[in-house]
Every structure is written in C-alpha cells, then in structure tokens.
Amino acid sequence: MKRILIVGSGDVALRALPWLTRRFRVYALVRQPEAYAALRAGGAIPLRGDLDDRRSLSRLAGLADAVLHFAPPPSSGPGDPRTQHLLAALGSRKSLPQGLVYISTTGVYGDCGGAYVDETRPCRAQTARGQRRVDAERRLRRFCRRTGVRVALLRAPGIYAADRLPLERLRRGDPVLVADEDVHTNHIHAEDLARIACLALFRAPAGRAYNVCDDSGMRMGDYFDAVADAFALPRPPRLARTEIAACLSPLTLSFMSESRRLDNRRLKRELRVRLRYPTIAHGLRAALSA
C-alpha cells in the first residue's frame, strides 16, 4: 500500500496526516481552494473535486491503494448521493482500491432507551441525519460484497478535542435536561478517531463495523458539567423536556431524543486499539494543558 486518498479533508483528516504522510503518498480531495494550504502544510497533495458533482471525480479511478472516506452526507434528502458518486468514481475492477474506511455515526442505531449497544444491534435510525448515514453504510457494504474491496465502518459518537468543546454554549447558558430525564451519551477524542481510522486500513476485516468511542459512558448533562467545571464556567441550567424545547434549536433537541451506551470491546479486541484519551477526564486535562 503506497498511496492513500482522503475524501472529506476536515479536522479529523488533518489530524491523521502526520501518521499517514510519514508512510504514504497522500492525496486529499478538496472542494474549496482555500483548504489547499493546510493540506499542503500537512504533507498532502490537494485534488480539486466535489462529491456533489460526479463529473469532477474522474481523476479518482485507480489513483490510490486505499481510501479514507470522512465526508458527511448532504444536509437534506433521503440518502447519501455523495457516497454513491464516490463509489462510482473509484473505477473499474482493475483499478479499485484495496481498502476503504468510512467514518459513520452511532446515530444509525436510533434511540435505544439507554441500553448497552454493540455492533450487532440493527440500524434503526430515527432522524433524517441518521437515515442518510444508514444509506451510506448500505451502499458501502454492497460495494464491498460486489468488488471485494475491504470496507470498514467506524461508527463515531460525539467528537471532541481541545478546540471542539462546547465553551460558547456554556457561556450562553444554554440549558440541558434535568437528571431524571437526561440521555446517555458517548464521545471520542478527535485524535483517537484519526488514529483509529488509520489503523483500520490495515487491521479491520471486510465489511466490519465498529463503535469508536471512549470508556466514559456519561449522561449528556454530566458531560457539560464536566467541561464547565474544567474551564471555571457556570454549569448549564437544567430544565424538563417539556420546557427545554422553547430554548434550543431542532438540531440540538434531536441529540437529546436518543439515549444509548456503546460497547467498544470489538474496537479494542480486533483493531488492538489503546486509546490515548480513554475518558472525558483525560481529554479535558489535555485541553487545559494545551
């Protein structure tokens, strides 16, 4: 494996570059030219292309030995045409990549009522956002079976890092749910997610899905309290579900409508992952020291 193509060149991709560029020639699909500088500085070769424009992807066929697919679906619509366009562009059987890793979301499970969830649980996404991810996963699994390309699905929950904390929300005083109505939530540090995506290129069996989360297992309000305490900010007010709808956006409310606790044993056993930030407390300590 000599050449890697990154599709979706955002924060997680930039964090993966130091590991990748020491080992491979790395190409990065970019829609906006203003992103070129950061990618070049990280050692990647930018390629102009837009997943919403299938004609702009013709250069991808046969380009890389493996693909890291980090691009999200569109913000509307019933499915994920971006993944459809990418798979069509990767080319004929003779020029297909050996492997493809896709960062999905744990939203594919839908609301689980706070139950423990492993990767054998059926996907029953209840939000349009989650349903688009289910569509992407199904397309990728079919692609894996049809072509033999080794596809791995990384189902990530809330991604955080020192520069991805809800500090502005805390400063605004946005409320969270009262304790007896709160939902279970899960997290992964962006650095761990980037490293796991790289490892999955080599260690994940074909068609395998993984819950990519840390060991924290917190309720949502407790997470916001922990961030507030770490940064000496006021804890958010607590409101009942019947009251909170008037204070928050529909998107924020949608995250408060699903509760699950993720099992990450498959991640550790099969990908042999040792998390650098195994709990939120570890990540917050690192954020403060930075």
Residue 27 near residue 3 (C-beta atoms within 8 A): yes
Q: Which two tokens stand for residue 10?
A: 């955002």
In a domain, 223, yes or no: no
In a domain, 157, yes or no: yes
In a domain, 231, yes or no: no
Question: How many domains is the chain built from?
Answer: 1
CATH of the domain at 193: 3.40.50.720
In a domain, 245, yes or no: no
Residue 27 near residue 44 (C-beta atoms within 8 A): yes
Give φ, ψ of 162 to 5 degrees.
-55, -35
In a domain, 243, yes or no: no
- One pLDDT digit (tens) per residue for the chain, 290 residues: 799 999 999 999 999 999 999 999 999 999 988 999 999 999 999 999 999 999 999 999 999 999 999 999 999 998 999 999 999 999 766 689 999 999 999 999 999 999 999 999 999 999 999 999 999 999 999 999 999 999 999 999 999 999 999 999 999 999 999 999 999 999 999 999 999 999 999 999 999 999 999 999 899 999 999 999 999 999 999 999 999 988 898 888 999 999 999 999 999 999 999 999 999 999 999 999 98
Report pLDDT for 91. Answer: 79
Report pLDDT for 290. Answer: 81
In a domain, 282, yes or no: no
Residue 200 near residue 104 (C-beta atoms within 8 A): no
Report pLDDT for 247. Answer: 87
| Three-class DSSP labels, the chain | CCEEEEECCCHHHHHHHHHHHCCCEEEEEECCHHHHHHHHHCCCEEEECCCCCHHHHHHHCCCCCEEEECCCCCCCCCCCHHHHHHHHHCCCHHHCCCEEEEEEEHHHHCCCCCCEECCCCCCCCCCHHHHHHHHHHHHHHHHHHHHCCEEEEEEECEEECCCCCCHHHHHHCCCEECHHHCCEECEEEHHHHHHHHHHHHHHCCCCEEEECCCCCCEEHHHHHHHHHHHCCCCCCCEECHHHHCCCCCHHHHHHCCCCCEECCHHHHHHCCCCCCCCCHHHHHHHHHHC
CA distances from 141 to 50, 72, 103, 145, 206 (A): 23, 17, 13, 6, 9
Give φ, ψ of 205 to 5 degrees.
-70, 165
Report pLDDT for 4. Answer: 98
In a domain, 24, yes or no: yes
Report pLDDT for 217. Answer: 87
In a domain, 32, yes or no: yes
How far apart, in whole angstroms, are the C-alpha atoms of residue 186 and residue 147? Answer: 34
Report pLDDT for 93. Answer: 61
- Enclosing domain of residue 30: 3-162+187-215+261-277
Tell me the pairing of strands 218-219 and 184-185: antiparallel
